[in-house]
Amino acid sequence: MRLSELVGKKIVNVYDGEILGTIGDSDLVIDPFSGGIESIILPNKSHLLNLWFQKQQLIIPWESVKKVGSEVVVVDLDESHGRMW
């Protein structure tokens, strides 16, 4: 699959049905040797935490991607998967 085929697809979490973002607004981490995708990094989101806005990124390991459809990428992330930075 080409990167251009992924751009514009929404990322949906099958765990809770939340739309996490869109590929194209995100970054991909590519293995320089194999050319495979290692993870998807979604852009900063603002979260209200202790009355301060803190920006975080969500890193989705490629192993969490369950299906790439014509309009969406389905991932399976529960609270123990994915990392907020």
Name residue 37's amino acid: I
Q: By the 8 A CB rule, do 11 and 73 touch?
A: yes
The domain total for the chain is 1
Mean pLDDT on 68-77: 94
Q: Identify which of 57, 60, 55 has the alpha carbon closest to the alpha carbon of residue 73.
A: 60
Q: By the 8 A CB rule, do 26 and 45 touch?
A: no
Dihedral sign of CA atoms 69, 30, 8, 60 in order: positive
The pLDDT score that the predictor gives to residue 53 is 56
3-state SS assignment for residue 82: coil
What are the DSSP E strand ranges found in 1-85? 10-13, 19-22, 27-30, 37-49, 52-61, 65-68, 72-75, 83-84
- Tens-digit pLDDT profile for residues 19-72: 998 988 788 899 999 999 999 998 765 544 544 555 578 899 999 999 999 999
**What is the CATH classification number for the domain harbouring 34?**
2.30.30.240
Residue 50 lies in domain = 3-84
